[in-house]
Structure 1
Amino acid sequence: MSEADQPQDPTDRFPQPEFPQQDQKHPGRTAPMDPPPDHGEDSYKGSGLLSDRRTVVTGGDSGIGRAVALAYAREGADVLFTHLSSEEDEAGDTCRLVEDAGRRAVAVPCDIRDEEQCRALVERAVSEFGQIDILVNNAAYQMSQPDGITAISTEQFDRVVRTNLYGMFWLCKMALPHIPAGGSIINTTSVQAYKPSPHLLDYAMTKGAIVTFTQGLAQMLAPGGIRVNAVAPGPVWTPLIPATLPDTKEFGKQSPLGRAAQPAEMAPCYVFLASPSASYITGEVMNATGGIPLP
Structure 2
Amino acid sequence: MEVLKSAGVTQFDRCYLAFSFGPFIGFWAAYDGIQKLGALAIPGGSMSSEERLNSMIQNHATVLLCTPSYALHLAEVAEKVGIDMKNSSIQKIISAGEPGGSIPSVRQQIENLFGAKLYDHVGMTEMGAYGYSCQKRNGIHVNEKEFIVEIINPDTLEHVKPGEKGELVLTNLGRYGYPMIRYRTGDVVIYQKEPCVCGNPHLFLPGGIVGRADDMVVIRGMNIYPTSIEAIIREFPEIKEFRIVYYTEREMDQVKVLIEGPENAVEPLARLLRVRIGLRIEVERVENNHLTRFEMKAKRVIDQRESKVRGNVNGISI
Q: Larger Cα Rg: Structure 1 or Structure 2?
A: 2
Which interval holds the TM-score relative to the shorter structure?
A: 0.3 to 0.5
User: Structure 1 or 2: larger helix share?
Assistant: 1
Give the TM-score of the pair, scaled to structure 2. 0.32
Structure with bigger RCO (C-alpha 8 Å, 6+ apart): 1
Give the TM-score of the pair, scaled to structure 1. 0.34
User: Structure 1 or 2: larger strand share?
Assistant: 2
